[in-house]
Structure 1
Amino acid sequence: MIELFSPAKIEQMRPAGRFVAEVLTALREAADVGVNLLELDALAERMIAERGATSCYVDYHPSFGAMPFGKVLCTSVNDAVLHGLPFDYRLRDGDLLSVDFACSVDGWVADSATSLVVGSADPADLALIRTTEEALEAGIAAAVVGNRLGDISAAIGDVARAAGLGVNLQFGGHGVGRTMHGDPHVANDGRPGRGLPLKPGLVIAIEPWFMHTTDEIYTDPDGWTLRSKDGSRGAHSEHTIAITEDGPLVLTARS
């Protein structure tokens, strides 16, 4: 079911968005060569506890997951492109790390993701990250009253194609509110002028993710981590936004 939220309820969502942004900022600052993925997960867990928030991931067990997720972050490194289950791994020079984080504050959920390179960066990896960011910006710009859901998807796909990248449609954005994943699904490619009319009060996560040389993925033996089929690296950017009469409101904007 697609739910539209009043301006008052969207205001109530702001603290969750700010907190998710604060956690991702702290994780970006902490991520460095030699830092263990489990240390990053522990940092986020401490911040959740201090804030009195609730993780959306620990007990999360959708049909595509082999078991409850059990951690508070998704940490996807190099050819791991989505849903990376944190494990005992120390980041190495040049690793491309994507971090996805969602939690509930006072009953409202926010969801966001960011990608970075630790240590010495390959320019191609930085370009891939920037493409996901540009696609996210384009998707947000299209999230205005009077447009349709397909306009958001088409804007994302246009950026990917301009960069020579393929688009995987198995996973994309989604509705956000009291739960992490709701309707509608927000594909990372589509046809403009098609799909759900965008109305004030719709709250969605928009999340472009691309890989260097493929659009195909497979599931790691851990039962969660999704990897590129050809071993190429991936990047992921995401914000939770609200569609308002005054334009898109980015609830998870980082300072």
Structure 2
Amino acid sequence: MLTMIILMNSLLSSFETRKFREKKKLIYLEGRRLIEEALTSGIVPTTIFHTKPEYIEDLKLPKETQVLRIRFNDLKLWSNLENPQGIVGFFKQPEKQFQPKDPYPLSVICDNVRDPSNMGAIIRTVAGAGCEMLYSTKGCVDIWNSKTLRAGSGGHFKIPLLSSLQWHDIENLIPADSKVYVAISNVNNLPVGIPVVSYHETTNEPRSTIIMGGETEGVSDEALEFVKSRNGRAVHIPLRNNVESLSVAVAAGVLLFHLTSFCKENK
């Protein structure tokens, strides 16, 4: 038991650093449902910790998976949840991109999104809306952070994800025929040369890319330069009752489902 506790402590303390996660190419998942999502998607587990045998019943674990039972009180010390579910696992970070079936020609770029809950919620929304790709720029929170994974609720395993990108990378990745939009809450801080439209005026023909900025930092100057270079537009969501802005995840949901409605009409 002591050996298992030492192993768990060592893994979790190391997992606090992004450098370790990127070097080891491992992800940490907590809860039966998220672990099942990962297994169904072909993510390879390395170690599973559980507190009761029934928590691993019917899990299709590879034979080489290390499965260890620990006390609930020990797991509770390591858990990020207020009410731990009794099972956690370390998995290999996916090496290949997940290809969604018949995606809509719509992609999202996250820029300066530094809150893991927001990033996870955006990934979940992008997957749920049926988009074809999500990119995140250098400076965003790690998309494989355990909190981001939990907020993503399995969305990470349903769409292609590219992270830690520089803007010159994105310039080469976004098709020339893609309309480019940047979501903004304050129309007064835009540089000259970027027209502003309400989200009702946006369309998705033949394809679109929308940039979502973090709630604190907003989008970067590089993002705005990219929008200008592609003759893009700034898009805002009109609000009432003196509400200044929506969370970036909620705004992403409004914009994405609006744009995918055009895709459905054209199918």
Q: TM-score, normalised by structure 2?
A: 0.24
Higher share in helix: 2
Report 1 or 2 for greater relative contact order, CA contacts < 8 Å, sequence distance ≥ 6: 1
